Structure 1
Amino acid sequence: MSNVLQYQQEGHVVTLTLNEPDRRNPLTGNTAVQEFLEAIGRIEDDRSVRAVIVTGAGTAFSSGGNIRDMERQASGEVAGMEIRQDYRRGIQRLPLALFNLEVPVIAAVNGAAIGAGLDLACMCDIRIASEEARFAESFVKLGIIPGDGGAWLLPRIIGLSRAAELTFTGRMIDAQQALEWNLVSRVVRQQDLLATARGIADEIAANPPHAVRLAKRLLREGMHCRLDTLLEMSAAYQALSHQTADHREAVSAFIEKRPPSFTG
C-alpha cells in the first residue's frame, strides 16, 4: 500500500490516514479510493479489528475531488458515459464499502472537509472535529453535484432543510456550527483530536465485538427500512447474540461483580 493512505493498527484499533498533505488529501486523481477499498477488505478479514479511525495528515481532512480531473472532464475530451462509468467504478464504491463495513468508523476531522471530503466524513458512523475543522458541500460552486452519495448521506445526518442549505449555497461552516447542526458529535482542541478519537475507539473496542457489529448493522438498516422489518432483524440478531460466549461472559461478570473479558 502506498503512502496515499496509511494503515496503522494498535491493539484492536486501525487508523487510516490520508497522507497527501501538500495536495490537501484529495480523494481522486490518485489511488486513495482503491487503497480505501483494500484497507476495508483487510479490516473485514481481520477479526481482531474492533474500531477504525479515519483522519487526514497536515491541515486538511480531505479536499475532495482533484481539480485537474475536473478540468479534463470539462474539456469535452471525455464522453459523458465514460465519466459515468468512472464514478461508478471509482469513488462511488467507497460509500458502499464503508456503509457495509460492520466495524464502527470514526472520522477525526482535523481540518477542511470539502465536497467529497465532507461526504467521506458522512460515510463514517461517528464524526468528531478539531476547532480548526471546516465543512462545505461545495460541489455547486464548481457547477457539479454530489456524485458520491452526499445527497443521500447528508440529509440523514443533519436533516433535509440544512442539507439543502449547504448543498445549494456551497457555503462553508465552522466546527461550532457543525456541532450545533449535529454534523459532528463533539469539537475538541486540535492537539486533543486523535487522543479523543482513540478514546472513543477504545471504549467501543472494549465491548463484545459481535454485539457492536450487529448493532451497527441495525443502525444502518434502520436508515431506510420499515420498523417491522427492523424488529424482525433485531429478533434474529438477538437470538444469535444470546448464544455467544461473550454474552455469557458479560452476564457472569455482572453477577460476579468483576470486569468482563471479551474474546470475540
Structure 2
Amino acid sequence: MSDTEELLFDVSNGVATITINRPDKRNSFHDDMVRQWVAWLDECKTRGDVQAIVFTGTEGSFSAGGDTSRFKGKSEQTPLEAKAGMTANTQSLARKVAEIDKPIIAAINGMAVGGGLDLALMCDVRVMSSGARVAETYAKMGLIPGVGGAWFLPRIIGEAAALDMFWICHWVDAREALQLGLVNRVFPEDSFAAEARAYAEQIAAAAPLSVRFIKRMVKGARDTDLHSHLDALSSHIALVRTSNDHKEAVAAFKEKRTPTFTGT
C-alpha cells in the first residue's frame, strides 16, 4: 500500500484502489491530491498487475467535491487565472481518466455531491451502496460543473434527466439512481465494500486485451459513424484472435476449466 494520508493507493488481485481519506472533510479533495491522483493513474496505465481501477472514499462518504475551505482567494482571480487553474489542476484528472483504457469503477460508498459526483461520472461504471445519496448542487451555489459533469451526466442518463438533476439539485437515492441508469449495481450497505470489491475483481479477471478493446470501441462509438466503427472493429478483432488470451480461453473451454489470462 502507498498513501499520502489524504489519498490511499493499493494494488491487489489485479485491482488498483484509490481511496479519498479525508472523512473529517467529507472526503473533499484539493489540487495537491489531484496531482497525486493523476500520477497514480499514470502508474496504473503501465503496471501489468493492474487490470481494473476503483475510486472510492472512506467512512461513509464518497466525496463532497472540491474542498471549499481552499477556495479562499479564488474569487479574486482574474478569469484567465481561474481558467488556467482549473485546466492545470482539477480538470487534469478528467483528462487523465479519459486516457486510461483499463476499466475504472466508481464505488459510491456514501454521499457524492457536486465535484464528488462528477468524479464518479467520469468512471466507466458505477456501483452504489443502498444507503448512499448523490446530487448535483452547482445551481444552488451559483456555480457550474467544472470537472466535466455537464458532459458526462447527459451521456449516462439522458439530457432531460441530467438537466432536472442540475436545475432542481435534489438528492437521488440508490433506488432512483439505478432507475435512471446513473449506477450499474446497488449493493447492500452492510456488505457494500466486499461486493464492490468482488465486482471489480470479476472485471479484472476477464481477458485484459478484450476488456480494453471493448472499452475503446464503446467510447469511440460516440464520436464515429457505423462504417468507421466497423472498420476499426475488424482491425481490433484481427489482433485479439491471435492473442495468447484467446488461445487460452478456447483451451479452457474445451478442458472445462477456468482460463488464466496474461494480457498478451
TM-score bracket for the superposition, by shorter chain length: over 0.9
Q: Give the TM-score normalised by the residue count of structure 1.
A: 0.94
Which residue matches 1:12?
14
Which residue matches 1:88?
87
What are the Cα deviations for residues 31-76 of structure 1, in whole angstroms up to 9, with x where unaligned?
A: 22111101101101202211111110122100012223444223xx
Residue type at the aligned position of 2:28: P
Which residue matches 1:24?
26
Contact 1:131 / 1:189 at 8 angstroms: preserved in 2? yes
Contact 1:55 / 1:107 at 8 angstroms: preserved in 2? yes
Contact 1:128 / 1:187 at 8 angstroms: preserved in 2? yes
Residue type at the aligned position of 1:231: L
Contact 1:53 / 1:197 at 8 angstroms: preserved in 2? no
Shift of 1:223: 2.6
What are the Cα deviations for residues 129-185 of structure 1, in whole angstroms up to 9, with x where unaligned?
A: 112211111111110101111111000101101000011122221111111111011
Q: Give the TM-score normalised by the residue count of structure 2.
A: 0.94
Moved over 3 A (4+): none
Which residue matches 2:234?
235
Report 1:238-249 matches (<5 A).
238-249=237-248
Tell whether 2:114 aligns with 1:115. Answer: yes
Indicate the larger mover: 184-193 or 7-16.
Answer: 184-193
Indicate the larger mover: 114-123 or 250-259.
Answer: 250-259
Which residue matches 1:132?
131
Which residue matches 1:191?
190
Residue type at the aligned position of 1:42: E
Contact 1:115 / 1:136 at 8 angstroms: preserved in 2? yes
What is the percent sequence identity of the aligned residues?
38
Aligned length: 261
What are the Cα deviations for residues 172-225 of structure 1, in whole angstroms up to 9, with x where unaligned?
A: 211111111110112222221121111112211222111111111112112332
What are the Cα deviations for residues 8-47 of structure 1, in whole angstroms up to 9, with x where unaligned?
A: 111211111101110011122x522111101101101202
Residue type at the aligned position of 2:108: V
Indicate the larger mover: 184-193 or 102-111.
Answer: 184-193
The separation in 2 between residues aligned to 1:59 and 1:262, in whole angstroms, is 35
Report 1:158-197 matches (<5 A).
158-197=157-196
Unaligned runs of 5+ in 2: none
The separation in 2 between residues aligned to 1:177 and 1:260, in whole angstroms, is 37
For the aligned residue pairs, the C-alpha RMSD in angstroms reads: 1.4
The separation in 1 between residues aligned to 2:107 and 2:74, in whole angstroms, is 31
Residue type at the aligned position of 1:24: R
Residue type at the aligned position of 1:6: L
Which residue matches 1:59?
60
